[in-house]
Structure 1
Amino acid sequence: MASLAAAGVGATTGSASGEVAARGVLARGLVSPLTAGVADNGTAYVSENFAGLLVKIRPGHKPRPVFQAKKGVEVGGVTVDPGTVTFSLTFGSGQEAPVKRSLVMHLSHGKATRFANTGAFERNNNPDAGVTYGFRHLNKRCLAKVPKRVPARYSGIVDSHPYSTATTGGTTYVGDAAGNDILRVNGNGHIRLVSVLPPVPLRVTKHRAKANGMPACAVGHRYWFEPVPTDVEVAPSGGLVVTTLTGATEAPGFGGQSRVYRVDPATGRASLVTRGLAGAVGLAITTGGDYLVSQLFGNELSRVDASTGGVSHVRNVSQPAAVERVGGKVYVTSRVLAKKPMGRLLRFPG
């Protein structure tokens, strides 16, 4: 997504010393490994998003490319189902203009085929068109004083970035980070809306106003940020668990606003589990039903109590992103925004 691409410019690895022993490093030299899926035998498929590459990593072997997108096309949204790897393509990702073309793909027996046209669904439906973002209650005089670089008030635009996928029982769920929604895709590639995630209202303080060049008349008012869903996982109950980055990540003074939601796939209702995370982009569900969440900008892997929403520290990880839990092992990608090819795939007990 554009925000993560921008964050990668000039980014350095975080200060998460001793993130894992050398034997727990399954792969090195990856470029922006933001998403991953792991098969039951431990074989991992990792997206090198901004390189447009999908690689296969077998235990004890070097990464092997299995799909290369054309220049300017981002690869992401990886999940693994028996016999099939699902991933996404976003055309023109990282550019300033909204993205109107995106696809969900299947890779089977070495052949990649189109599965669902998420870009067309967004163009035809734009599910968050009725949502007002920005300042909802400022008068026109104050709105006119808001710097042009800050979208003062706007409705959801046509923009698609299928950042994550999760497959269960022939149904694939897609977290569209730019569309601000969760989609359901059946076995024939037909797409239906599950939920438009709620915007995030945050109050503008004097400090936040100054940091963003906002006028004094905006102080005390709420700015409604886009939720920006990142990872989506299916709980044993059949419900969905979703991490969100929130648009506030890009605004000075608004850091640490990521959230975790539970979403009922039948009704689309989103229930807040926890908030205050620093760049929640990856998620896995433990045997006990709690959530392992990567905090990209907090340089740590955290555990979120599914009942209370309490957050506890699990492990220091430098710029973590994808989180998968398979066969009693936790897989995490790290150093995902490094300027050089320094990304890693880590594995440790969990």
Structure 2
Amino acid sequence: MLAGAASAANAASASGGGWREPTPVVELDGPRGVAVDHAGRIVVSEADGTISRVIDRGRNPKVHELGSVPAGFIAPAVAVARGNRVFALTTAGEPGTGAATLYQVRPGRAAKAIADIAAYQQTDPDPYDLEDNPTESNPFGVAALKDGSVLVADAAGNDLLRVHPNGDVVTVARFKPRVVEVPEELPDEFDGEPLPPAGTPIPAESVPTSITVGSDGYWYVGELRGFPATPGTSQIWRIKPGSVDAVCDPERPNSGHCRRFADGLTSVVDLAGGSHGTIYAVQLVQQSWLQWELGLADPPVGGLIKVRPGGSKSEIAPGSFILPGGVDVGRHGKLYVTAPVFGPGALLRVG
């Protein structure tokens, strides 16, 4: 099914809110990361670790390979900064292996490792860990700041980190678990273990996957939501710039330097900042990532959600995205989305 998902992403007839149907720009293999620079050029990543720049002009978009980073279980996240600097973030792995590492990608030269995120997390255990592995690391989202530092959302560490140009890392915020109800659609057991009955309240980790800088300068983080991945329990948090050791607490969502911006989302895997305080969120699978893994979401349709200040939400081009992985805002308000994250896919233009 995934072999045809790139065309399927463009085939859906629905298009919400006056947005045009998504249009493929270039074909990519397992695309995820997408970031648009100040000149309107688009940096994308693929499953094998390749990082490329796409110029979306005219009928024949141009693709220039910039370099590569070690491949992981999914394509790296990417960010662009002033001076045409490109950053790539590899996902889960052990310290010193090239996984879970922030790189600067330089054309014609080997990628430069800036910080080993997995190594840092060995010294910074998650105090709210629910899986008996408080030093686990799976850096998943990345955003570049104007001062040269880079923000990293660690989905396994349940925190937001800031990496300075010299490689020093500090913890910006930690994300506490949330009590959710077991959804009705799940089977009676998972991984050989019985599941509590539907409706049973259990704690679930935050799993912060995504980070962007809003038009107001604040830092926004999106959640996937850990097991049992209850739909509608993913949040977006708004963090005061410059924060250190802030706590994002679903029991106290309106206090401190980390406050809830929006609630009621599902399996968020990327964010992008739009104009007037708007945030765009990519939902990997509308029914939740767990239901997809269990074979209960077929086809695995994801979603692109526009979130306005105050938390109101609207879906863009509903039904059009199969396992989307990334989003960013280009010139004139156009959106760029990568999908699907596994198998043959494409960079899609929306708007």
Give SS of 2:80's match. strand
* Pair 1:87-2:73 in alignment: no
Return the offset for 1:263.
2.1
Q: Which whole-Å deviations, capped at 9, do the CAs of 1:24-50 have from their partners, x for residues lacking one?
A: 4321x21222211111222111111x3
Residue 203 (structure 1) aligns with? 181
Q: Is the 8 A contact 1:69 1:75 kept in 2?
A: no
* Pair 1:172-2:169 in alignment: no
1: CA distance between counterparts of 2:183 and 2:56?
50
Instruction: Please report the TM-score for the alignment, with normalisation by the length of structure 2.
Output: 0.75
1: CA distance between counterparts of 2:284 and 2:143?
20
Instruction: Please report the TM-score for the alignment, with normalisation by the length of structure 1.
Output: 0.76
1:224 to 157, 182, 203: 203
Return the offset for 1:219.
6.6
Letter in 2 for 1:285: G
* Pair 1:260-2:260 in alignment: no
* Pair 1:47-2:48 in alignment: no
Residue 302 (structure 1) aligns with? 305
Q: Which whole-Å deviations, capped at 9, do the CAs of 1:186-242 have from their partners, x for residues lacking one?
A: 221210001111212112367657365765876764322221112211224432111
Residue 32 (structure 2) aligns with? 34
CA 216–21 in structure 1, closer or farther in 2 if over 3 Å, else same: closer
Q: Is the 8 A contact 1:32 1:338 kept in 2?
A: yes
Q: Is the 8 A contact 2:93 2:118 kept in 1?
A: no
Return the offset for 1:173.
0.8
Residue 254 (structure 2) aligns with? none
2: CA distance between counterparts of 1:218 and 1:21?
42
2: CA distance between counterparts of 1:264 and 1:22?
35
The count of corresponding residues between Structure 1 and Structure 2 is: 308
1:273 to 261, 276, 279: 261
2: CA distance between counterparts of 1:72 and 1:344?
20
Give SS of 1:125's match. coil
2:104 to 103, 106, 119: 106
Q: Is the 8 A contact 2:91 2:139 kept in 1?
A: yes
Letter in 2 for 1:35: G
Q: Is the 8 A contact 2:71 2:90 kept in 1?
A: no
Letter in 1 for 2:135: V
After TM superposition, the structure 1 = structure 2 runs for residues 5-20 of structure 1, keeping only pairs within 5 Å, are 16-17=12-13
Residue 314 (structure 1) aligns with? 316
Q: Is the 8 A contact 1:175 1:182 kept in 2?
A: yes
CA 31–256 in structure 1, closer or farther in 2 if over 3 Å, else same: farther
**Identity score, percent:** 24
CA 10–92 in structure 1, closer or farther in 2 if over 3 Å, else same: farther
* Pair 1:342-2:348 in alignment: no
Q: Is the 8 A contact 1:131 1:155 kept in 2?
A: no
Q: Is the 8 A contact 1:43 1:58 kept in 2?
A: yes
Residue 181 (structure 1) aligns with? 159
Give SS of 1:284's match. strand
Give SS of 1:188's match. coil
1: CA distance between counterparts of 2:92 and 2:133?
19
Give SS of 1:231's match. strand
2: CA distance between counterparts of 1:74 and 1:206?
29
Residue 242 (structure 1) aligns with? 221
More displaced 10-residue stretch of structure 1: 216-225 or 181-190: 216-225
Q: Is the 8 A contact 2:93 2:138 kept in 1?
A: no
1: CA distance between counterparts of 2:65 and 2:196?
53
Return the offset for 1:71.
5.3
2: CA distance between counterparts of 1:57 and 1:206?
43
Return the offset for 1:72.
4.8
Q: Is the 8 A contact 1:261 1:273 kept in 2?
A: yes
Residue 293 (structure 2) aligns with? none
5+ residue gaps, structure 2, are: 249-258, 287-301
1: CA distance between counterparts of 2:4 and 2:23?
27
Q: Which whole-Å deviations, capped at 9, do the CAs of 1:136-173 have from their partners, x for residues lacking one?
A: xxxxxxxxxxxxxxxxxx34432222211111222211
Give SS of 2:121's match. helix
2: CA distance between counterparts of 1:228 and 1:194?
15
Return the offset for 1:280.
1.6
Return the offset for 1:328.
2.1
Letter in 1 for 2:282: S
Q: Is the 8 A contact 2:158 2:175 kept in 1?
A: yes
